[in-house]
Amino acid sequence: MSVNKKTLIRRYVKAIHEGNAAVFAGAGLSRSSGYVDWRGLLRPLAEEIGLDVDKEYDLLSVAQFYKNKRPGTPTSQAILDAFSKEVSTNENIKILSRLPIFTYWTTNYDELLENGIKNANRNPDVKYNYRQLSYILPDRDAVVYKMHGDVKEPDMAVLTKTDYELYQIKYPLFRTILKGDLISKTFLFIGFSFQDPNLDYVLGQIHSLIGDNAKEHFCFVRRVQESDYPGDPELYAYFRARQELQEENLKNYSIQTVFVDSFAEITDILRDIEKATKMRNVFVSGSAVEFSSPWDKASAESFVAKLAGELVHANCKITSGFGWGIGSAVVNGALKTIYSEKYKHVDEHLCLRPFPLDIIDPEEKRKQRQQYRNDMIVETGVSIFVFGNKIIDGEMVESPGCMEEFEIAKKQGNLIIPVGSTGYAAKKILDEIKDNIKDYVYLTDYIDVLEKETDADILIEAIIKIIKDKHRQMGLN
């Protein structure tokens, strides 16, 4: 039986949080950007030797036939021709590149995956030949293993039947590393053909080594549909039955199939995975130069510190811009819980992003701070707003920075929790949400508490419940 999408999201997000997630990308991942799949790559070669690639099942043999027939014409030219053109990335690559995943494997020759990781402001260490395996790129954020080679070295690419037969001899270290990752990590296979003989061999070796104790993996498969075979119900029934058999076979390698009816569903699921991954990351926004009754400096700092501690206790990671008047309380409260609970570490539960102070030009300062706020909030899934005031030209006003952070969080679709009873920007945000409560249904049962309550314990209990309710809804608990 296939795995449903909610189960995939819950288990794969858990693997991401534990640092055990990996991606295995096949040609399907690049196809929507305009690159060919394996069949498309071999089509012109097959035509040269009088074959129809659409009638062929064993594509490895087609490549081998071409090489045998045209020994003076390297297949590497076909790879150059197919993958040297400039194409745009696609949404699936963007999402996969942004996820906090360290290990990526691919059989693709193109550079879309590593370029996507770079565009996500992450530094990929790319490995496409055995010499690179012994070197570690400084400050790397991810490793991309290109087990079939790279367009930059097309003469070394794995393409023909002979290439596959010699793979174990020529690239034993790639196989060894892949075996280790398949045993220790949870893979998400996307755009990948399970008819690849090299992967099939590796998966078989893993199964023979550890049997049913293999790590659980997931793969996307588009369900065979009647519309794929118009006017031919027998052919549809045949391939539907074959797909079910393939699903059962993949279970032998601990690969769970996630069926989708369209490829667009994969993008939606990846978005849900990204959103769920961020849902434990909480941005605390606020600043406080003064306090309105019944709040004062001591009670405000006590509330914020206790809130930070409870967020850490709930296994959340706090991001703070170290807002004036509350930043220290956030740090103190988080650290107190981190150091009092076993196995908790500062970098896993607290991220401090104080704003740079040495920018003189007003317009440049505005642009820098706007980008800084975007960079902080983009990694989070929850935004909590407390207090939020500032002195501008000698007058106490609602903090423009807090309001800007609210707009960013709203645009990103964050879970927004304004503690309106603390006043100022937090009150203004709560009033806007109250007027549009249909867009914030998760706050319906808590809006009165957030607006009127000033007891720190009651407020914190409500905030934690809101977050945990969302976690349960997304299957994260």
Give the tens place of pLDDT for each residue, 70-105: 876 677 788 777 887 788 899 999 999 999 999 999
Start-end of H helices in 139-232? 161-165, 167-170, 172-184, 197-210
Does residue 287 sit in the same domain as residue 420? yes
- Domain of residue 49, residue span: 5-276
d(CA 320, CA 303): 16
d(CA 157, CA 80): 11
pLDDT of residue 205: 66
| Residue that is last in its domain, among 219, 244, 276 | 276
Q: Rounded to the nearest 5 degrees, what angle is found at the Cα of 411, between the Cα atoms of 406 and 413?
A: 95
DSSP string, 80-116: HHHHSS-----HHHHHHHHSS--EEEE---SSHHHHH
Does residue 197 sit in the same domain as residue 51? yes
Does residue 209 sit in the same domain as residue 315? no
Does residue 190 sit in the same domain as residue 308? no
Does residue 372 sit in the same domain as residue 256? no
d(CA 105, CA 127): 10
Find, among 379, 347, 414, 382, the residue nearest to 98 by Cα. Answer: 379
| Residue that is last in its domain, among 211, 245, 276 | 276
Does residue 326 sit in the same domain as residue 392? yes
| Residue that is last in its domain, among 276, 300, 316 | 276
Does residue 261 sit in the same domain as residue 365? no
Structure tokens at 420: 């309106």
The CATH number covering residue 420 comes to 3.40.50.450
Find, among 23, 213, 32, the residue nearest to 103 by Cα. Answer: 23
What is the value of pTM for the model shown? 0.90
Does residue 222 sit in the same domain as residue 369? no
Helix (H) or strand (E) run with residue 464 in it = helix 456-473
Does residue 365 sit in the same domain as residue 428? yes
Does residue 13 sit in the same domain as residue 123? yes
Q: Say if residues 388 and 424 touch (Cβ distance below 8 Å).
A: yes
Which position among 17, 148, 345, 349 bears the catalytic label?
Answer: 148
For tokens 């300062």, what's the residue? 365
Q: Say if residues 271 and 233 touch (Cβ distance below 8 Å).
A: no
Does residue 225 sit in the same domain as residue 330? no
Q: Is 148 known to be catalytic? A: yes
Q: pLDDT tens digits, the chain, 477 residues: what are they?
A: 678 899 999 999 999 999 999 999 988 899 888 888 878 888 888 898 999 988 887 888 888 998 898 876 677 788 777 887 788 899 999 999 999 999 999 999 999 999 999 999 999 999 999 999 999 999 999 999 999 999 999 888 888 888 888 888 999 999 889 989 988 999 999 987 666 665 676 677 677 666 777 789 999 999 999 998 998 999 999 989 988 998 898 888 889 999 999 999 999 999 999 999 999 999 999 999 999 899 999 999 999 999 999 999 999 999 998 888 899 999 999 999 999 986 778 989 999 887 777 777 778 778 888 888 999 999 999 999 999 999 988 888 999 999 999 999 999 999 999 999 999 999 999 999 999 999 999 999 999 999 999 999 999 999 999 999 999 988 886
**For residue 40, is it left (φ>0), alpha (ψ between -120 and 50) or beta?**
alpha
Q: Say if residues 350 and 318 touch (Cβ distance below 8 Å).
A: yes
Q: Say if residues 194 and 250 touch (Cβ distance below 8 Å).
A: yes
Does residue 292 sit in the same domain as residue 267? no
- What is the count of structural domains for the chain? 2
